[in-house]
Structure formats: structure tokens, C-alpha cells
Amino acid sequence: MIALVISAPWWERSATKAGLDLAMTLASFDLPFELFIQGQACAMQNRNAPKGHPAKALSSLALYGKSAWFTDTPGDWIEGATLVTAADMNARIRACTQVIRL
């Protein structure tokens, strides 16, 4: 299982885009992975995001069969964000065989 951890601020477009592109690629090839969004990247899950915001791309993961991911910060997030404690998130990440951090 691959852990894809995105913690870069969403306004750092290159890191955000790379993470979302990788998530979509993994999902489209049915590769097992878990997506974790933490820290400043949590804002990319904003339910009231304007056009062009990463939340639009993130919500499209469901089209690729990845309808849920983990986040450690409460907020008014789009559908799919699953709130877990920081300890639970760290345990889930450690359980994966490969970790990719952006």
C-alpha cells in the first residue's frame, strides 16, 4: 500500500498539482493507495472553493474510484474528507509500505 501525503500549502501549485496528478494516476490504474491531506494543504478541501481551486480536482477522485481520503484538521470540507486524529493518521501512514510526501 502506498501512502500519498500532501502537506504543502495548496497555493504552492506545483506541489499540489503533482500530488493530485499522482493520486489520479494511482487511482486510474487501480493501484492501492491511501491519500492523506494535512497541515496547510487542508485548505485544498474547501467546500466553497472558487473555480480553479484544487478542491475541484480533489473531488473528481471519486470518478477514479477513490471517494475518500484522510485529513487531520476539522473544517467545512468537500465530500470525501474523512477526519482522523493526528495519531491515527500517523499510524495509518506507518502501516503503508511506501510513503510519498509532497
Model pLDDT for residues 61-71, shown as the tens digit of each residue:
888 888 899 99
- Spacing of C-alpha 86 from chain mean position: 15
- Domain at 44, CATH number: 3.40.1260.10
Total domains in the chain come to 1
Q: Can you give the residue range of the structural domain that contains 45?
A: 2-101
Model pLDDT for residues 15-64, shown as the tens digit of each residue:
888 888 999 999 999 899 999 999 989 988 888 877 777 888 888 888 88
Burial pattern 77-91, b for ≥16 Cβ within 10 A else e, equals: bbebbeeeeeeebee
pTM: 0.90
Distance from C-alpha of 55 to C-alpha of 43, rounded to nearest angstrom:
8
Nearest to 27 by CA among 71, 59, 72, 55: 59
